[in-house]
């Protein structure tokens, strides 16, 4: 009897925990924004997983920072970009894309948030000037992208992980906790013992395997890139902080506009941004 009493208690506890989890998920609050253009409106849900970017976008929206700015960079099958304050009232042909509010935002890379079609993501300076991949304080882009077959997505993933592997191994060897490993590796290199050096690097790779696993796509993410589409080569390099819930036809229409050699639309593509209810 005691066994069955404990068993039933565990089952009941499971139902309670599951019920509480479901309740919390249902009650999770999101902020929605609407970007209006001459082609129509696009509505987005801002991600709670990227609080720095979410709160900054809300702040700028309340300040009407984005109103009358342009989508100054449009590339078909890639993305549309805006948020440069110098685009407001910019002269025809002026090169845009270097303006901002005077600050950057720390990167927030979340493995579950990928560059699928319709996501809202932060633009930034290149890696050479910006090795920490900090985001622009105001410039953003909306992904149009394209559909990729699984082989192409896997190739992009492999290239990314190979680059991350080298950085993580270096960090692993320079971790004070692994001082003996670094000393042994340096000794092997000193005597040009490549076999011993490889064994040490292989040991380091075992330690970083959990980190590398985070950068692999799930089956669901592969399916998204193979059906909805997006830009997988930007994943884990630029922060994604929202996703489109309405207005994909507007995005596609803007992506088709005629542009100059700097990818600026020939006719100004002005925006208005506001907080809305779902």
- DSSP code string of 206-273: HHHHHHHHTTSPPHHHHHHHHHT-B-GGGTTTS-EEEEEEE-HHHHHHHHTS-B-TTS-BSS--B-EE
Task: With CA atoms as reference, report the closest residue to 50 among 111, 103, 102.
Answer: 111
Flag whether pLDDT at 101 surpasses 70: yes
The DSSP line for 21-64 is HHHHHHH---EEEEEEETTEEEEEEEPTT-HHHHHHHHHHHHTT
Q: Which domains does the chain have, with CATH numbers?
A: 31-147+228-276 (2.40.100.10), 151-213 (no CATH)
Q: Give per-residue pLDDT as tens, 225-273.
A: 999 999 999 999 999 999 999 999 999 999 999 999 999 999 999 999 9
Q: Please provide the distance, in angstroms rounded to a whole number, between the alpha carbons at the two ends of the chain.
A: 52
Flag whether pLDDT at 7 surpasses 60: no
Flag whether pLDDT at 95 surpasses 80: yes
Q: Give per-residue pLDDT as tens, 211-222.
A: 999 899 999 999
pTM recorded for the entire structure: 0.84
Q: Give per-residue pLDDT as tens, 41-77.
A: 999 999 999 999 999 999 999 999 999 999 999 999 9
Flag whether pLDDT at 16 surpasses 90: no
Residue 176 is given by DSSP the state G
71-75 vs 40-46, strand pairing mode: unpaired
């Amino acid at each position: 009897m005691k066994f069955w009493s404990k068993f039933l208690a565990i089952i009941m506890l499971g139902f309670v925990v599951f019920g509480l989890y479901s309740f919390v998920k249902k009650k999770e609050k999101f902020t929605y924004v609407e970007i209006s253009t001459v082609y129509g409106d696009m509505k987005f849900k801002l991600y709670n997983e990227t609080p720095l970017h979410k709160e900054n976008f809300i702040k700028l929206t309340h300040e009407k920072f984005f109103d009358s700015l342009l989508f100054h960079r449009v590339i078909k099958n890639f993305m549309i970009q805006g948020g440069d304050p110098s685009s407001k009232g910019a002269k025809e042909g002026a090169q845009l894309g270097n303006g901002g509010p005077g600050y950057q935002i720390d990167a927030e890379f979340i493995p579950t948030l990928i560059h699928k079609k319709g996501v809202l993501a932060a633009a930034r300076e290149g890696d050479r000037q910006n090795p920490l991949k900090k985001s622009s304080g105001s410039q953003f882009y909306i992904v149009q992208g394209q559909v990729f077959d699984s082989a192409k997505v896997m190739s992009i993933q492999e290239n990314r992980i190979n680059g991350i592997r080298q950085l993580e191994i270096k960090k692993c060897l320079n971790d004070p906790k692994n001082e003996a490993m670094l000393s042994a590796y340096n000794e092997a290199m000193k005597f040009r013992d490549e076999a011993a050096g490889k064994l040490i690097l292989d040991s380091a790779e075992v330690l970083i395997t959990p980190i590398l696993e985070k950068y692999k796509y799930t089956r669901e993410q592969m399916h998204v890139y193979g059906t909805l589409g997006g830009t997988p080569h930007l994943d884990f390099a630029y922060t994604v902080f929202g996703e489109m819930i309405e207005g994909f036809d507007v995005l596609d229409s803007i992506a088709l506009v005629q542009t100059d050699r700097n990818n600026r639309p020939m006719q100004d593509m002005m925006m208005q941004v506001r907080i809305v209810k779902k």
